[in-house]
Amino acid sequence: MTDERQPTPEKEKGSNQSGGRKIRRRRFGRRALLAATLGLGAAVLLAATIGWLGTRASIIKAELNAVAQLIPQLKDNVTSDKPEEAAATVKQLRSHAASARSAAEDPLWTLASATPIVGPNFSAVAEIARSTEDVTALGIAPLVNVFGSLNWDNLLPSSAGRDLTPLQKASPSIMSAAHAVRVSVERLETIDETSLVPQVAEPLTRAREQLRGVTGALDASASASKLAPSMLGADGPRNYLLMIQNNAEVRASGGIPGALAVMSLDNGKLSLEEQSTAGDVGVMQPALPVDTEQQEIYSVRLGKFMQDINLTPDFPTAARTAQAMWEKKTGQHVDGVVSIDPVTLGYMLDATGPVKLSSPELVALASGGLPTELNGKNVVSTLLSDVYSKIEQPKLQDAYFAGVAQEVFAALSSGKGDAKGLIEGLTRGTAESRVLLWSSRPDEQKAIAEYPLSGSIAGPSVAPAQFGVYFNDGTGAKMDYYVKRTVQLVEECTGDEYGQVKVRITSTNTAPADAASSLPAYVTGDGAFGVPPGTVQTNVIAYGPVQSNVENAIVDGEKSDFAAHMHSFRPVGSVTTTLAPGQSSTVELTFGKIVQHAVPNLVVTPTVQPVNDVVLATQAAECVPAT
């Protein structure tokens, strides 16, 4: 007999299924609730993370902007010679830079830097912040400390000598600062900006450009601080051949050597010893040896006449030859060669103030109408033009030229004027290739060769895509005072992977129409070398980048013959122009097969004109994409 209160197997099974569904529903509900809770928590955490990263980004941006705004203030502190204010500004800079770096090294920021897609942007910002603090703490701060410890007046030689110890002590700090900035630049250069959003890529580009500019200046300062004490005679007396180039008769590196003197430096004590002229050195028989490449371009005259040593634009070649000629003529050894021009003398006089002629001989020479007081405004016209109309004898012209140089250097060595202004003037002259330096000591010359101050046409100081335009007088006179020139690079489209650049040189003879009779015979040349008086003949020489070709020459719109050579693996093209008074001519030399994918750079012979008036902005190519 069956107990009906006991469930049958079917009923029992049904009942279990119903209960199981209830249990599963409860479990599912709990899981859903847990998932929803976790999802909400994740969303909250994500929102909090984004908010936190946003806060960090705001801090970094604000602190880096504060750094940028303080830089002009620091420059003003330094240029105004306010070391205490400069130190206070640096303290603020370091504080802002440290805050930016701290925000960028936040753990969440570091984690975000490792995420796909957006990670490189976080990483780039962190690198900019780190570099900013490194440059501030390891570069700017030590330099400002050095600035505060140096006396500007002691940075230049004088007739009484200088204590070079502070500069020697400062050198390690300057070199360390240069190294810190260079390392920061190298780190920033490794960042691939193609994967960055514009808000990050643009500040990165600005930071790179600013630091690149600072790096070159710091490297130069580091080298100068290392070399200067020895070259100023801290380790024993030094003698340098001082060559003042006369831009009125143009040569590739500036002008014919108008005056020569031995500049003696002994522990910062400056004096000008024996003075002479290029003509006094005489003719080298036999001619001194010059490498075959340069002799083919510029003839054997390079090693024969002091007046022609700088037909080549390569100053180390010209300086070595000048040293050898001087020693052969006088028997006196010189440790190097320093070259400047009258334009640089003008920059120096702007700082020293007017210089009165004190020598009775100079005063007597000036009595014919030349100024007895020279300043930055009249020295160029006096030395490059007026002297020839007021003094008839070439030997006396040279004596006046050399005497004026002696007076200017006497003012320099006496400590007259503003030392910082003198340094700025010499720096400006160096930037315009008007101040050149060569040392006979290989270790010193190796360091000098790193910079444009060396006047080299090959080596580490030469930009990858460098062009050079140089002028050599063919008149045998002083007519280049009247020639105005412009030089421009014109990039052209080639349709292949090679570059092509046209070098356009326009020259105008601004001499008066009656120059043949109104200008002194010594200025016009009086036809002595086959050029009609008043006419200017010039050898125009253009250098292209290494491995390129000089392809053709166009003169005043017509295809022209030209001479083609090679110098230190650089192609050289030259054309001779002849200009009557009032006449202009445009020479275009085209260089092709340029392999350097870099911004073209242009170096020109420094003339009487301001360099900014001569060198025009590069005309970029407007290429139409192939269809």
Amino acid in the structure at residue 464: P
Output the pLDDT for position 424: 84
Contacts of 40 (CB under 8 A, 6+ apart): none
What is the rounded CA–CA span in Å between residue 110 and residue 52?
13
Residues 403-443 have pLDDT tens digits of: 888 888 888 877 777 777 888 888 899 989 999 999 999 99
Q: Identify the segments of the chain with pLDDT beneath 70.
A: 1-54, 56, 78-81, 109, 147-156, 158-159, 195-197, 199-200, 204, 210-218, 220-221, 624-627
| CB-based burial, 459-495: b 16+ in 10 Å, e otherwise | eebbeebbbbbbbbbbbbbbbbbbbebbbbbbbeeee
Residues 350-377 have pLDDT tens digits of: 988 999 988 898 899 998 899 999 999 9
Paired sense of beta strands 355-356 and 373-374, if any? antiparallel
Output the pLDDT for position 214: 62
10 Å CB burial of residue 384 (0-12, 13-18, 19+) is buried
Distances (CA, A) of 339 to 182, 421, 436, 489, 530: 30, 19, 5, 28, 30
Looking at the DSSP bridge assignments, the partners of residue 66 are none
Give the count of alpha carbons within 13 A of 564, CB side only.
Answer: 13
Looking at the DSSP bridge assignments, the partners of residue 591 are 501, 550
What is the rounded CA–CA span in Å between residue 401 and residue 384?
9
The alpha carbon of residue 358 and the mean position of all alpha carbons in its chain are separated, in whole angstroms, by 38
pTM: 0.79
Q: Helix, strand, or coil here: 617? A: coil
Paired sense of beta strands 466-473 and 601-604, if any? parallel
In CATH terms, 463-614 corresponds, of 2.30.30, 1.10.10, 1.20.1070, 2.60.40, to 2.60.40
Contacts of 127 (CB under 8 A, 6+ apart): 187, 188, 191
Output the pLDDT for position 114: 78
How many CB atoms lie under 10 A from the CB of residue 404?
A: 27
What is the rounded CA–CA span in Å between residue 615 and residue 386?
27
Q: Which two tokens stand for residue 118?
A: 């957006």
- Ordered by start, the domain boundaries in the chain are 53-231, 238-439, 463-614
Contact 253, 319 (CB under 8 A): no
Amino acid in the structure at residue 45: L
Contact 107, 77 (CB under 8 A): no
CATH no. of 238-439? 3.40.630
